[in-house]
Amino acid sequence: MKQRTRNWLLLAPAGTWFLVMLIVPLTVVLIFSFGERGASGGYVPALTLEQYANLPARWTAFKNTMVLAPAGTMAALLIAYPLAYFLAVRASPRWKTILLVLVIVPFWTSILIRSYAWIFLLGGRGIPALLGWAGLEDIRLINTPFAVLIGIIYGYLPLMVFPIFVSLDRLDKRLLEASSDLGARPWHTFVHVTLPLSIPGIATGCMLVFILLMGEFLIPAMLGGGKVFFVGNALVDLFLQSRNWAYGSAVAVTLVVVMLVTVTAYMRLIKRLGAQREDVAIM
Amino acid sequence: MSNNNNYISKQKFMEELYRYKKGSVTRRHFMNVTGLGAASAVMGAAMPGLLPRPAFAAGDIGDRVILATWPNYHDPANFDAFSEATGARVQVNVFGSNEEMLAKLQAGGSGWDVYVPTNYTITTYVDLDLIEPLDTSRLPNYNAPSYDPRYAEAGSVGGKLYAVPKNWGSTGFVVNTKHTDGGQPLTTWKEFWDITMNQFSGRTTVHDYQLTTIGNALKYFGYSFNSIDEKELADAEQLLLDVKPHLFAISSDIQPSMRSGDSWLAMAWSGDGKQLNTDMPEIAYVLGAEGGELWSDYYAIPKGAPHMDAAYALINFMLDPAVNTKEVLAHGYPTADATTTAMLPVALQNDPILYPAQDLLDALEFGAAATLTDPNRAELMARFKSA
Amino acid sequence: MNSAGYIQPEANVRQTAIAELKGVSKHFGDVIAAQDLNLAIGEGEFLSLLGPSGCGKTTALRMLAGFEAPTSGEVLLDGEDVSALEPYHRPVNMVFQHYALFPHMTVAQNIAYGLKQRRPRLPKAVIAEKVSHALEVVRLDGYDRRRVWELSGGQQQRVALARAIVNEPKLLLLDEPMAALDRKLRKEMQLELKTLQRKLGITFVLVTHDQEEALSMSDRICIMRDGRIVQVGSPQDLYDHPSSRYVAGFVGTSNFFDGTVTARSGNLVSVRLENGMSVETSRADGIDQGQEVCISLRPEQIRLKRSGEGVPVSVTNRIFLGEHTEYIVNHQTLGEFLVLSPRQSELNEGQFDTGDLLVASWEATAALALDRT
């Protein structure tokens, strides 16, 4: 009995947090999504599916998100994996620490400030000026989907590098020796041993990046010049500009549902790809 | 200053950086886009972090007053002077748009003592009972006859005073004349939109703000800036959709890209125009001949302000013509108070950007309350942005 | 074979050498992991590298496998210098200490891994055939579709073994393969491994720190210390003719008494112990008059009697172990030492109890005068 009380007490802070920060807001949003907008904005209680019926009006935002979020995730993965591999397998212990710190350091600065750096780099006096010097005139980078992709990769790279790094670092190096001992050349060892065993890290990294990207609004607004419109931007506008809370809630609920469906499908896929049951880090 | 286009001097860079650090460049800056009002509020609040200690023990009006305002819209030295005089520290929350301010107040629990709404929002605040009527006896510095009624009248609703004028300005556009035919500035909104779809493709910035972007698109057809007529809005929408592929950006933070030369043409509030023109004379500020927006900002107290005494004290302090002069000199926007204007340098009083000629001024319209709350305009803007 | 137990590598190869270390050293920075190793491994033999941790046995093994390149010297396989050859180019396979089985593969996939690397490719049917045969050999028929983490430690070890032998390597290296098994299972596996080695005729090189394991399985044992080879020989050689106190202590148990050589006559050496007692011992090469030596006396070589000739001792402890009994006896000046008495002798002469006063005796040839190192 006493043990049970203690258990409950231990769980109380997390439970309360979970309730207050997740369940309550989600419930409120769900209720709002069936309501109506007040004459000067805000929320008027109602029970209508009107907001959901109006979802096609944000179809482009959903489409952009569903294209750029997976594309950004894939691009981040392709860049993060070699980096994580180098850090975990190749770098000497001292360099490992230095390089890991270098990967983390940008995280200490607000993404806002860092995006400003990119605005300058991608703007007319940055990389395009260098390209112009090299004879490639009139290349425009800033305020394009490409710039958004760069910003996404840059901003989310550490989130992708770390889980992959951890899974590769934890990888029993004797398995690589065993593979080599059994006659496998390095590339074969990578494809058949290293890569499959780092799937948990890849899965975790992709999940983290993808979920956060689905709600991203800052990078498209800043590096896309407001022309690349994500669901996140639609939500910001709905809540802060047109103050259409009911419709905003319906869009938010839909985003959550789309996210859950995508993530579930993704988990199934990863499992089928043969990740070990006990090693899939995120559940 | 043409060499300014080719490189950015160290000093200029530091200035720019400082502006970024302050959280913004212009009134209704990029926070509008990002919705990071809260983040900017933190930055804003960090600014007066090391205020001098009050010269005397506080107590009568409390130790703080919370102000919700626009970026770069005050002289920080005046806040220092206020806290020295009263013992109340000014905590600044910076916002990107009237909509955002309204959203915060509608949600409740803002904790603000003073805020700075624009003319067309005040009736809505009154309707929603979110604004406190002002007791002029507590604002001895408010000398009503000295204020131009054009910029003061929106402060009263139903004969009751709710807000006192802060500053006013216009919304036009800036154009880099290095890229125009014969170095001549454009003159109309029609030219603005037409050149965007041709010669200036990929170089034009429009506000991320439905009021001005839709309003100025309406002007292409000669409609009212405030129109909520379905057919007229449909025309404006078609224009905006046609223009979208040719835009450089949809952003209210126009200055960096105008300065860097990435953008050649942008919608601009008069303060932006003035600052750009001062630094880079080839950038001209133009009021479209068809008209456009005229606006006036006010000081007001939200319902349930936690430090009511301090709120009155702050507004009264800011209305002191000596203080107000410093404010205008700091941010460059004109005031409706004739007493203050008279104390400004003559060159400033005659500035054509800040004080446009009468005929141009007459073509401008104040934003209307209906424009603010109209759901169709908001949806139109969303369709435009996501197209 | 000379009686001293110092064995020249070349001289000891029974058949042709399948692998050879020639003057091989390995330095990791300032650390010398292996120094001037010379060792020939005969085709089909079971050789153990025995020594405490850090003695260089694992380094030697890893150089044979190709995971480490020697700092100097040559590693020969079938007469060819392979020092610079990558592990995946060597016809050598290894059973790793913790098996290093691929956790994301089934048992069959693990075993087939090496076969799938062959070029030209082996037909699928051949691979399947070889895998199932290997499973049979290690008595794991029917486990092919299991995941490796579903198996017990012993089963995992068999899979590791099957994964290596299926490739029919010229040399099978085993790195402490039994370290993770419990005692009973270890005994079983030792026997099984030895049987398997005979059956397959593959050359085995086993690294172990467990002398019993080395003694019970090996044709020859190579004893190492501080990166060097100390002695190589058959288990009996090493037991009966250790070259030093270190080897005598490592192979089996022994009682040691320090002393000085006083005289030599024929095969016998007289040694004066530190307590002044004089003892006749059998000669070892390189022992000279006046030299400080250590006398090794195996516990089973000592006989205890109630009376007669010998040194007087008292019994301080008796441990009955079934087939024999261990006595710890005390001599006034020599101190305590261990005596092993076969059950049969106890049945004949009766057993002794704690406190009994006895005499201990041994044949002069049973005591060995050894280098003290």
For chain A, how many residues are written?
283
Assigned domain for A94 exists: yes
Number of folded domains in chain A? 1
Confidence of residue C49 (pLDDT cuts 50, 70, 90): very high
Assigned domain for A16 exists: no
Taking the Cβ of residue A28 and every Cβ of chain B, the question of whether any pair is shorter than 8 Å is answered with: no
**Closest Cα in chain A, distance from residue C222 (Å):** 24
Taking the Cβ of residue C167 and every Cβ of chain A, the question of whether any pair is shorter than 8 Å is answered with: yes
Domain boundary among C198, C217, C245: C245
Contact B251 A225 (CB under 8 A): yes
Q: Which ranges in chain B are annotated with CATH 3.40.190.10?
A: 10-168+296-347, 169-294+356-386
The CATH number of whichever domain residue A113 belongs to comes to 1.10.3720.10
User: Alpha carbon of A129 to those of A124, A139, A140, B52, C75: distances in Å?
Assistant: 6, 9, 10, 46, 59
Q: What is the rounded distance in angstroms from the CA atom of residue B266 to the CA atom of residue B257?
A: 9
Domain boundary among C216, C245, C274: C245
Say yes or no: C236 and C199 in one domain.
yes
Sequential pLDDT tens for chain A (283 residues):
577 888 888 888 888 988 888 899 999 999 999 999 888 788 889 999 999 999 998 998 999 899 989 999 999 999 999 999 999 988 888 899 899 888 888 888 888 888 888 988 998 888 888 898 888 888 889 999 899 999 999 999 999 999 999 999 999 999 999 999 999 999 999 999 999 999 989 999 999 999 999 999 999 988 999 898 999 999 998 988 888 899 999 999 999 999 999 989 988 888 877 544 444 333 2
> Can you tell me which residue has the tokens 């300065």?
B259
Confidence of residue B50 (pLDDT cuts 50, 70, 90): very low
Q: Which residue(s) pair with C293 in the sheet?
A: C259
Say which CATH class B10-168+296-347 falls into.
alpha beta
Say yes or no: C226 and C327 in one domain.
no
Handedness of CA A125, A127, A128, A129 (dihedral sign): positive
Burial class (CB in 10 A: 0-12, 13-18, 19+), B71: buried
Contact A178 C100 (CB under 8 A): yes
pLDDT at B65: 95
Question: What ipTM does this complex have?
Answer: 0.82
Q: C235: part of which helix (H) or strand (E)?
A: helix C235-240
The CATH number of whichever domain residue C325 belongs to comes to 2.40.50
Assigned domain for C1 exists: no
Residues of B whose CB is below 8 A from A61:
386
pLDDT over threshold 70, residue B206:
yes
Q: What is the domain extent for residue A134?
A: 57-282
Say yes or no: C160 and C283 in one domain.
no
C and B touch per CB criterion (3+ pairs under 8 A): no
Partner residue facing B386 (CB), from A42, A61, A113? A61
Partner residue facing A274 (CB), from C100, C104, C114? C104
- CA–chain centroid gap for A44, Å, is 33
Percent of chain C predicted with pLDDT > 90: 60
Residues of C whose CB is below 8 A from A178:
94, 96, 100-102
Assigned domain for A180 exists: yes
**Closest Cα in chain A, distance from residue B258 (Å):** 11
Partner residue facing A116 (CB), from B7, B20, B210? B20
The verdict on domain B169-294+356-386 having CATH code 3.30.565.10 is no
Say yes or no: C21 and C143 in one domain.
yes
pLDDT at C15: 56
Partner residue facing C117 (CB), from A183, A197, A278? A183
Q: What is the rounded average pLDDT for all residues in chain C? A: 89
Residues of B whose CB is below 8 A from A64:
386
Q: What is the DSSP-derived secondary structure letter of residue B25? A: S
Are B19 and B25 a contacting pair, CB within 8 Å? Answer: yes
The CATH number of whichever domain residue C150 belongs to comes to 3.40.50.300
Are B271 and B333 a contacting pair, CB within 8 Å? Answer: yes
Q: What is the DSSP-derived secondary structure letter of residue B278? A: H
Mutate to test the interface with B, among A237, A239, A251 (most CBs of B within 10 A): A237
pLDDT at C351: 82
Say yes or no: C126 and C55 in one domain.
yes
Taking the Cβ of residue B42 and every Cβ of chain A, the question of whether any pair is shorter than 8 Å is answered with: no
The pTM (predicted TM-score) of the whole model is 0.78
Contact C88 A185 (CB under 8 A): yes
Contact C102 A183 (CB under 8 A): no
Strand-strand pairing, B64-69 and C268-273: unpaired
**Which chains border C (3 or more CB–CB pairs < 8 Å)?**
A
CA-closest candidate to residue B164, choices B110, B122, B201, B101: B122
User: Other CB atoms closer than 10 Å to residue B182's CB: what's the count?
Assistant: 5
Confidence of residue C364 (pLDDT cuts 50, 70, 90): confident
pLDDT over threshold 60, residue B76:
yes
Assigned domain for A41 exists: no
Query: Which structure tokens are listed for A190?
Result: 């990578």
Taking the Cβ of residue C145 and every Cβ of chain A, the question of whether any pair is shorter than 8 Å is answered with: no
Say yes or no: C291 and C230 in one domain.
no
pLDDT tens-place string over residues C274-313 = 888 888 888 666 777 888 889 999 999 999 988 888 899 9
Say yes or no: C94 and C209 in one domain.
yes
- Report DSSP letters for A123-183, one per residue: STTSHHHHHHHTT-TT---TTSHHHHHHHHHHHHHHHHHHHHHHHHHHS-HHHHHHHHHTT
Assigned domain for A43 exists: no
pLDDT tens-place string over residues B259-279 = 989 999 999 999 889 989 999
Partner residue facing A177 (CB), from C92, C100, C117? C100
User: Alpha carbon of A40 to those of A236, B70, B125, C159: distances in Å?
Assistant: 17, 22, 9, 73
CA-closest candidate to residue C95, choices C186, C3, C193: C193
Number of folded domains in chain C? 2
Contact B127 A225 (CB under 8 A): no
Lowest pLDDT segment from A236-240, B156-160, B205-209, B310-314:
A236-240
Are B129 and B326 a contacting pair, CB within 8 Å? Answer: no
CA-closest candidate to residue C242, choices C298, C300, C323, C180: C298
Q: What is the domain extent for residue C162?
A: 17-245
Assigned domain for A33 exists: no
